[in-house]
Every structure is written in C-alpha cells, then in structure tokens.
Chain A
C-alpha cells in the first residue's frame, strides 16, 4: 500500500468531487490561455494594421515622388540669373541686384545650345525717385523675349515695350490719374502711357516699365543689365537647379542663379504634406489600438483574478467537503498510527493530481475554443501565434501548485484532527 495507490483509488471512488475540482481548474486554465490569446491577437492585429499603413504610405510617397519627377520635367521652372559677385541677400532685401552685367550675356545664352532654357528676359531694374511726380518707383527696363537661336521660331512671351512708351502699375496710374494714351514726363523724357496694369497687390503696383535701351540711356548704363529671367526651364533630373547651374556657369562663369516659386515646388510641398498626414493617421491608429488593448487588459485584470479565485475557492471547498466525508477514514488512519504529515501529503497529492488533470483538460479545451472562434474572435491567428509554450508550461506548473495551496487549509485541518474525538462518535 502506497500513498499514490491510496490517492488514486480514492479519486476513482469519489469521482464527482474529483471531476468538479478538475472542471474548476480546467476552466481556470482555459480562461488564462484564452485571455492571453485575445490580448495577443489584438497585438498582432495592431502590428498588421501599422505595417499595412506604413507600407501604404511608403507606396503613396513613392507614387508622389514619381509624379513629382514627371511634373518637374513637364512643368518647367523659373530661374533668375544675377551678375557675378552679386549679394543674393541684397536681392531678396531690395528686390533687384545693384551690380550689373553686360547685356550681351543674354545673347550669349540665346545663341548657346542650352536645351534646359526656354524663355529669356533681360532687364535693368532700379528703385528711384520720380522727380516730376515726387514718387519712389521701381523702374524696369525690359527688352522682351530674346529668341533662342537653336529653337526658331519661338512665340514671344511678353510684349516688349516700345521706345517712348511706358507701362504703369495700378498704384501709380490711379494716384497720379493717368490712363492709356496720356503723356507724361519721367526724368526729363516724354512717354506715352501704353498700358495700365490692374492692381496686383505686389511691388508691381509701384513699378513703371519702359524700353531697356531707354533705361540704360537714362541711367547712363548703356549695354548693361542686372538680371536675366529664364522661364519654363526643363530638366531631366530631380536636382534640376544643380543641373542648370552647371549648364549656365559653363557659358556665363560666375553668375548667381536662384530658383523662384513654381508648380513643381508646390507639388513637392504636397508630397511632404502627404507624408505628414500619413504619419498623423498612423499615430491615430496606434492610439486607437492602444486604447483597445488597455480595455482588453483591464477586462483581463478583472476576469483572471476572478477565475483564479473561483478555481481556488472551488478546490478549497471541494477539498473541505471531501475531508469531511472522509472523517471516519481519517480517524481510522490516525488511530492505526498513520502520521499527520502522511495524511496531509495524501490530501495535497490529490490536489496536485486534480490540478494536473484540470490542466490536461483545460489546455485542449482552450485549443478547441481557439480553433472554433478563430475567424470571429481571434482575427484568424493560429494557436501557435497566440499561445506560447512558456504560457502552457506556466499553467502546467502553477495550477497544480495553486490547487495544492487551495487544498492546504482543509487538508491541514483534517490531518490534525483528534482521532479519539472522531472515533468516540461511533
């Protein structure tokens, strides 16, 4: 007769008590695994959503980048060429370059074979006091488009201002009361107003345009200009400014080149914006999923201790019922000299066996539920993704220990009973 045999035979004899305790442990085991699986499934779902969003964003950014390349090529862009040694800070500050360069530069460009340039507009710009009207104006001498030698014929972009004609910005013609056809005098020269621009809300409103040659004469800067505007340049690469600089500097060494706002730039801007929006969406997805996980976690925090408590309570109560039912047996064992600790060991061994049986039932039960609800509750994740071997190992070890702990109190009480007290009631 051994302890193991005693425990085994007793288990088989009082099946109902044993099965109820096993069911309680199995429920605890399955709940533990399923709760963990639910959390894991949520995490995997989040991961997948984030990965998908990142991939989608990446694709979208690539698409935008690609589009941008195409648009940059198709749309063209505008540059300014300033004289050698010109401080660009000054250009941004006062709106024009104070240094000058030979007007012949524009012809050199026009006659070169730079394919990246489409329209060339030379100009000489100065801010000065209009002595006759006592007004500060911006005076721009323009020559109109310089035809490109290798690309004739070209439609002219801007009407050239003829000699003796003047074009006025809105502020000027409105405040001074000029209209088209009026005659006026500027620095001692007579001009006929050929055009009055409507209001543009920019420096153009205080600008007067006249023929380039006349400005050169009036300012005593014959054959000089201070800027060349090149419109709708085309480039094949994304780093177009570098490309065009290379081309232009080969012809006009030392000049300063800057790019001004274009549609292509706006598109690049949009692409940036798309990236920012995607990042914001990603953050929102993450925040939402984190919230969901927190909810699941708090549910788990509620359910797990409850189930554990119920399991422990069930095992404790069932053990108490069992040892009470076995009172005469316990009296006999103690009377014939079985040690209290041997009895305690028998009860705890039974509890551990119950725990093991519960786990053995609970783990496959959890697996069944996982398989059955795979599509609905677990986002189609497989068991191996949701349950780790260490989790199974943990409950295989911990639940029998918990069962033994739950059985401890009634077992201890039973093993310490007075046999004389029990047997007296025979």
Chain B
C-alpha cells in the first residue's frame, strides 16, 4: 500500500480515572487512509472520536496498537521530534477555529514558522493559499474582524500552510451555517482531491454526506457506516 498516508491498527486508549476503573475510549481501531481519501466519522457523544483524532495526530500516546503516518510511527519519536513531525505532517482544524486573536490573518497562517517550518517563501505561499481560499482581501485583519466562516477558512489555510498532507478536523462545521459549512467542506474535498487525506469528525449528516467515505463509531469501536461506502 504505497499511497497509504495513514495506517492505524488495533489502536487502544484508556483514560485512568480517580473514581472507578479506567475509561476505555478506543478499543481496537483499524483504519487506513490513502491520498485522496476524505473520511467522515460519526458517532454519539463520548464514543471516542476526539480521542482517536488526538492519537492519530501524534498528540496523545495510545495504550496499544500502532499509528503510522507516511510510514512513520510518531510515538517512536522523542517529544521534540514528534512536535516537528506534527508540524510537517499533520494539520488540525477545530470546531472553535483556534485563531490567535492578536495576530492578523496572514500571521496566523504563518504560525507554522514558529514550529520550525520553512520560512523562505512562506509568506508568498501563505498569500497564494489565502488567495485560493478567497481571503486575500483579509490579510491584515484580526480574527475578530472576520465572519465565522472566514475564520474557519483561515484555520484551514493554517492547517495546510506547513505542507501537511493529512488533515484532522474535529467538528469543523459545528459553528458554521449551512452555506459556510458547504464552502469549508468543498475546500476539504478539494484538498483531498489534490492528493491529501482528510479525517473529519462530525455530527452533521450534511457534512458526512460531502465526504467520500463514512464510518460510524460506537463505544470506542468503528462500525459500518449507516450509509455505507467504506474506505477500508
């Protein structure tokens, strides 16, 4: 599987709790994403979706199983190298955008420079990307001066500006209206079509319909999608 961008096998995650036994958040997840895949993950609250994204995104060490991104196991790396790995390989999009309030749109996009990403041509690249996402008239604006739809698009540009090929999106349309949600989903789809891969957690049926593949999650396990066209 040469074009497999993400391979997860038998992934397990337990949270220890102070009262009572540990919470089993992930139990035996197997999943593969290839370049071009856009997978929507649905499931009830507390079923482990965010936990899965964090484990996949090299933010949260699993208790069992394996994660390979571009053939590399990030948890085999030291914490500093893992940070650098995240910067290079993974882009996050959050429900709450997480834009830095005191930085302009352009500076928010160029934050990857702080993570040790490439600095040369970064600004040109960032401008090009913002242009592509139809945000070039907003370069100098602060996040608070943007519409929520624009804010989430800036967050998406930031996620891809560092050169990441894998996007992990947690409820990216959760705070958007249908129109802005539609625009963002189009852009995620375009990113996948361009050779990236997107793993998107969502409650929104419309959003999951836009994805090429859908899986359901229940109690830390993947189940067949309701509207099945499995990516695996």
A interface residue numbers (CB < 8 A to B):
1-3, 5-6, 9-10, 12-14, 328-329, 331-342, 418-420, 423-424, 426
Instruction: Report which of B85, B95, B110, B170 forms a contact with A1, defined as CB distance below 8 A.
Output: B110
Say yes or no: B57 contacts A5, CB within 8 Å.
no
Say yes or no: B116 contacts A337, CB within 8 Å.
yes
Say yes or no: A328 contacts B102, CB within 8 Å.
no
CB-defined contacts of B80 to chain A, threshold 8 Å: 339-341
CB nearest neighbor in B for A8: B102
A341 and B157 alpha carbons, distance in the complex (Å): 25
What's the least CB distance linking A412 to chain B, in Å?
A: 15
CB-defined contacts of A332 to chain B, threshold 8 Å: 94, 98, 100
Say yes or no: A336 contacts B87, CB within 8 Å.
yes
A339 and B116 alpha carbons, distance in the complex (Å): 8
Which residues of chain B in 84-104 are interfacial with respect to chain A, using CB atoms and an 8 Å cutoff? 84-88, 91-92, 94-96, 98, 100-103
- Kindly state whether residue B115 has any CB partner on chain A within 8 Å: yes
Say yes or no: A342 contacts B103, CB within 8 Å.
no
- Kindly state whether residue B76 has any CB partner on chain A within 8 Å: no
CB nearest neighbor in B for A336: B115
State the 5 A-B residue pairs at the shortest beta-carbon distance, nearest first: A337-B87, A13-B102, A337-B115, A337-B86, A420-B60
A426 and B101 alpha carbons, distance in the complex (Å): 16
What's the least CB distance linking B92 to chain A, in Å?
A: 5
- In the assembled complex, 16 residue pairs joining A and B whose CB atoms fall closer than 8 Å, in A order, are A1-B114, A329-B98, A332-B94, A335-B57, A337-B112, A337-B116, A337-B162, A338-B114, A338-B115, A339-B115, A340-B83, A423-B59, A423-B98, A424-B50, A426-B50, A426-B170
Instruction: Report which of A12, A14, A337, A420 forms a contact with B54, defined as CB distance below 8 A.
Output: A420
Main secondary structure of the interface of A (DSSP, over half): helix
Say yes or no: A1 contacts B57, CB within 8 Å.
no
Say yes or no: A336 contacts B112, CB within 8 Å.
yes
Say yes or no: B96 contacts A10, CB within 8 Å.
no
- Kindly state whether residue B135 has any CB partner on chain A within 8 Å: no
- Kindly state whether residue B107 has any CB partner on chain A within 8 Å: yes
Say yes or no: B86 contacts A426, CB within 8 Å.
no
Say yes or no: B111 contacts A424, CB within 8 Å.
no
CB nearest neighbor in A for B86: A337
CB nearest neighbor in A for B113: A1
What's the least CB distance linking B86 to chain A, in Å?
A: 4
1/0 per residue, CB under 8 A from A, across B69-88: the answer is 00000000001100111111
Q: A6-B114, A329-B98, A336-B86 are in contact. List 6 more A-B contacts (CB 8 A).
A: A1-B103, A332-B94, A334-B83, A337-B83, A337-B84, A342-B115
CB-defined contacts of B111 to chain A, threshold 8 Å: 1, 333, 336, 338
CB-defined contacts of B87 to chain A, threshold 8 Å: 336-338
CB-defined contacts of B88 to chain A, threshold 8 Å: 337
What's the least CB distance linking A253 to chain B, in Å?
A: 110
A341 and B94 alpha carbons, distance in the complex (Å): 24
A14 and B100 alpha carbons, distance in the complex (Å): 13
- Kindly state whether residue B158 has any CB partner on chain A within 8 Å: yes
